[in-house]
Structure 1
Amino acid sequence: MQLPFLTFLTPPNWFPSLCKTLLLQAPTTQAESGSLVMAGVLLSLVIIYFASKVGGELSNSLGFPAVLGELVGGVIVGISALHLLVFPESGAESSNSIIITLLQSTAGLSPDSANATFSSMGEVISVLAELGAIVLLFEIGLESNLKELLAVGPQAAIVAIVGVVVPFAGGTVGLIYLFGVPAVPAIFGGAALTATSIGITSKVLSEIGRLTSKEGQIILGAAVIDDVLGIIVLAVVASLAKTGSVDVGNVLYPVISASVFLIGAILLGNVLNTSFVAIANQLKTRGGVIIPALIFAFVLSYIAAAIHLEAILGAFAAGLVFDETDKRKELDKQIVPIADMLVPIFFVTVGAKTDFGVLNPAVPSNREGLIMATFLIAVAIAGKVVTGLAVFGQPGINRLAIGVGMIPRGEVGLVFAGVGSASGVLSEATEAAIIMMVILTTFIAPPLLRLVFQEPAIAKPEKSDASISD
């Protein structure tokens, strides 16, 4: 018997079934959401690998570096053309993504979940791309020679300094006096000209068999130093944009932290070399050599990122350290399949995020940017080509190749544009001009680099046992 005054506390007949449905559906919805994100990531990887393979093979058949084909393949599938691979940071929305549309029509993705799924997919692919860049620089470090890199250190430092000062000064002064751009945006534009994409240049050098050449070592060393100098310049101009003045601490911190990190990583690595070999010899399961090496590389990459340097610097330093061990050849072989899987994601993603729409003269807002971009591109190329003239004490060296190797701005230049845009100091024309400069220098450098090395490409040299023991 139910008491009348408790009737209002008695749930209706449909309430238990509703509770049961909600309790069962909540985790199911989360699981379905995660499953659809994974489905989107898998489709993205299919597109990435297909674009990288087709683009790389076509580029190689035409006599160009495969990396150029991967970049072009990324452009075709990305925001500029097919919209198969688009990212929120490129200004795209979920409705622009063909993958999201496909998930909605075939997998039941709801419109309410589309934006969250699109954002999560983009984050996963971007992280995989960054991981690809880290693995690439670790591989490049393994292929380099620390002693030879240190031997060209003075030349590399001068090349890097010239490659920062000349384009920065030329770009800033030209934007102010030729285009009437205010001082702070002009400084930002000049700063964007200082960058060099070590990932793109080193990949091309490796492909054409010039990474271990004297020119290749100078380019590589200068690109590393240039990366550090670029971080310093970015810190200065970002501070100037925010506060109107330069914080001395923002300038000194990157210099000190980069110097301490690189020197400390190499010294620590030399101490741990013997221990690494001893540990690797005791490990009997799969990955006995490559896993400990990647742990060390990722730790150094983490430290570099934690102190606000580029994570790729840590990976490069780790590769240089292991280059001196007698496990180098084994590491070199084992890192190749990992790089083959991750590095194409990096290059295709760079191309996919590049919006060639800013080059369309039919859009009125692009016209001013096109004129300004023509000037910036000229300064960007000339400002890096002249760096080869700064090389001293190297008779017979290909100075033009060194200058050309410093041209591509790649993702580093886009970082400058992104920071400038976020700060609000850049006009649409100035921002478009910087993006155009980054696009053109990134895409013309790989074929130019092969052209200036006129001799036939040589195979990557293997180190002799005697040289390793030395």
Structure 2
Amino acid sequence: MLPILASVGETATKAESAMVLAGVLLSLVVVYLASKIGGELSNAFGLPPVLGELVGGVVVGISALHLLVFPESGATSSDSFIMSILQATAGLSPDATTATFEAQSEVISVLAELGVIILLFEIGLESNLKQLMEVGIQAILVACVGVVVPFAAGTAGLMLIFGVPAIPAIFAGAALTATSIGITSKVLSEIGRLNSQEGQIIIGAAVIDDVLGIIVLAVVASLAKTGEVDVNNVIYLIISSTVFLGGAIVLGKVFNKSFVALSESLKTRGELIIPALIFAFILSYIGAVIHLEAILGAFAAGLVFDETDKRKELEKQVRPIADMLVPVFFVAVGARTDLGVLNPAIPSNREGLIIAVFLIVVAILGKVVTGAVVFGKEKINRWAIGVGMIPRGEVGLVFAGVGTASGVLSDALNAAIIMMVILTTFVAPPLLRLAFGDAPSVEVKAD
């Protein structure tokens, strides 16, 4: 394991392997303490535990204790309290501190990515392919409205009200389109609404939203670089995403018996979970290399296994893995959240705050209205569907990161987008629970 850790990134060549491992171990201690304490406190107040994990991440992250910080958030090794501990107790040399910090941060980031992949695989297992197909038209409508309305309102508002140039306004409008399927699905699972009709519409729409968001990102990234849209790339993304998700559905109908037969023929430990994870990681890899997202591949794999006779057993076996890796993702999202951009005492933040208020209103209303387009469902909770589409989470940060890297976004507009992501991520879990309340959910009846 030590040689593997030593090889993480080019910077790790100057880091001490033992120090990288020690830093990762201390980081995981911080992650698990933050997730458990935050989750338990949140649960005690009747809120979804995932909200507590996010808040726990904020407390230990760049905004407060600096126990878990990342270079991409602007932090350096001198900002990391863990590096200070390693210097004081483990003999980490000052010359190797920066390289060790960057290598340790990269390992935690990879574990966080694995965490969201496992989460989406688990959500796919808990979902039902037949149910998702039954609400398919509704999910498509919700997703399309949830992309078009905030994008159009955000872009037009920034240009007309704030005088923002066209390309930066389009970029900011695009950041309003995506929905964080990871956060929404976790909350739905925690409150027992994942397999309700509302839950299935939300999950289906969030998956489609993700695909549409990737296409929108490709368009605005092309605009930022050349001022023109790469039509070939957009067509490629539309075709590849359709074929990928459609192929997964078809695969689910022909693969289930073969998978059951394979798992029953294996006699050593992990005869069920290991082949399932191999398949999930292969689909995740394919999703990544065709310029979609790895999490879409993981979700598709979960849907495939939902069709097998081993689903319940597989759900039980994947849960301990999720318990280990998923908290890393949510705590890392919180740890990367810099609440300093919300401080009005800093003059440079004030313009961003004004724009942020506008973006937050558009971000919330632009998703809440999606529930209104659901038709033919008299008893369905449209308010809950709209609320479930609100959180932007890590997806919104991707848009902000690409925009910043391209040089398109001003500091004020970048701060406004980050504030929008923070607020929508944190208000969605309690609002979703409030939206469902004690009202009975409408269950989808699969054939």
Q: TM-score, normalised by structure 2?
A: 0.95
Give the Cα–Cα distance (whole angstroms) in 2 for the partners of residues 153 and 396 of structure 1: 18
Aligned twin of 1:408: 391
Residue among 172, 183, 203 paired with 1:189: 172
Q: Could you tell me which residue of structure 1 aligns to residue 9 of structure 2?
A: none
Give TM-score, length-normalised by structure 1.
0.91
Verify: 1:157 aligned to 2:124, yes or no. Answer: no
Tell me, in whole angstroms, the C-alpha distance in 2 between the residues paired with 1:49 and 1:80.
18
Does the 8 Å contact 1:195/1:230 carry over to 2? Answer: yes
Deviation at 1:256, TM superposition (A): 0.6
Aligned ranges for residues 67-82 of structure 1 at < 5 Å?
A: 67-82=50-65
2:247 is aligned to 264
Percent identity, please. Answer: 76
Task: Tell me, yes or no, if structure 1 residue 311 matches structure 2 residue 294.
Answer: yes
Equivalence for 2:8? none
Q: What residue is the counterpart of 1:96 in the other structure?
A: 79
Q: Secondary structure at the match of 2:408?
A: coil
Alpha-carbon displacement from aligned partner over 1:403-447 (angstroms, at most 9, x marks no partner): 000000000000000000000010000000000000000000000
Over 3 Å off, 4+ runs: 29-32
Give how far 1:266 is off. 2.2
Deviations 1:326-350 (CA, angstroms, capped at 9, x unpaired): 1001001001101000000000000
Give me the whole-angstrom Cα distance separating, in 1, the residues matched to 2:440 and 2:75: 40
Distance in 2 (alpha carbons) for counterparts of 1:457 and 1:241 = 47
1:244-291: CA deviation from partner (whole Å, max 9, x where unpaired): 111101211111110011111222232221111001111122111111
The corresponding residue for 1:24 is none
Q: What is the identity, as a one-letter code, of the residue corresponding to 1:352?
A: A
Whether 2:337 is the aligned partner of 1:354: answer yes
The whole-number CA distance in structure 2 between the counterparts of 1:268 and 1:452 is 36
| Aligned alpha-carbon RMSD (Å) | 1.5
Query: What secondary structure does 2:370 align onto?
Result: helix
Which has the larger displacement, 376-385 or 98-107?
98-107
Contact 2:255/2:304 (8 A) holds in 1 = no
Question: Is 2:376 the counterpart of 1:393?
Answer: yes
Contact 2:57 2:333 in 1 (8 A): yes
For residue 331 of structure 1, the aligned residue among 297, 308, 314 is 314
Q: Which has the larger radius of gyration?
A: 1
Cα offset for 1:457?
A: 8.4
- Equivalent position amino acid for 1:74 in 2: G
1:52 to 21, 30, 35: 35
Aligned pair partner of 1:38 in 21, 26, 35? 21
- Partner of residue 225 from structure 2, selected from 232, 239, 242: 242
Q: Is the 8 A contact 1:163 1:194 kept in 2?
A: yes
Give the conservation status (yes or no) of the 8 Å contact 2:14–2:99: no
SS at match of 2:16: helix
Q: Is the 8 A contact 2:178 2:213 kept in 1?
A: yes
Does the residue aligned with 2:380 lie in a helix, a strand or coil? coil
For 1:431 and 1:279, the matched residues in 2 are separated by 50
Residue 454 of structure 1: CA displacement? 1.5
Task: Provide the residue aligned with 2:257 in structure 1.
Answer: 274
How many residues align structurally? 434
Structure 1 gap ranges (5+): 1-28
Q: Deviations 1:12-47 (Å, cap 9, x if unpaired)?
A: xxxxxxxxxxxxxxxxx9798011000000000000
Task: Name 1:128's counterpart in structure 2.
Answer: 111
SS of the equivalent of 2:32 reads helix
1:172 aligned partner, one-letter code: T
Is the Cα–Cα contact under 8 Å of residues 195 and 412 in structure 1 kept in the other structure?
yes
Per the alignment, residue 49 of structure 2 pairs with 66
Distance verdict in 2 for CA 1:410–1:30, change over 3 Å: closer
8 Å CA contact 1:208–1:457 kept in 2: the answer is no
TM-superposition CA deviations, 1:231-252 (whole Å, max 9, x none) = 0000000000000111101211
Amino acid at match of 1:204: V
1:206-225 correspondence runs (5 A): 206-225=189-208
Residue 142 of structure 2 aligns to a residue whose secondary structure is: helix
Instruction: Give 2:434's aligned amino acid.
Output: L
* Alignment-mate amino acid for residue 174 of structure 2: A
Query: Quick check: 1:209–1:457 contact (8 Å CA) kept in 2?
Result: no
Whole-angstrom distance in 2 between the partners of 1:342 and 1:223: 22
Q: Distance in 2 between matches of 1:350 and 1:417?
A: 14
CA–CA separation in structure 2 for the residues paired with 1:318 and 1:269:
8
Which of 441, 444, 448 does residue 424 from structure 2 map onto?
Answer: 441
Q: Distance in 2 between matches of 1:327 and 1:398?
A: 32
State the SS of the aligned residue for 2:219. Answer: helix
Q: 1:367 is matched with which residue: 347, 350, 367?
A: 350
Q: Which residue of 2 aligns with 1:8?
A: none
Q: Does 1:174 align with 2:157?
A: yes
Q: Per-residue deviation at 1:127?
A: 0.4
Counterpart for residue 120 of structure 2: 137
For the Cα contact (< 8 Å) 2:15–2:99, is it kept in 1? Answer: no
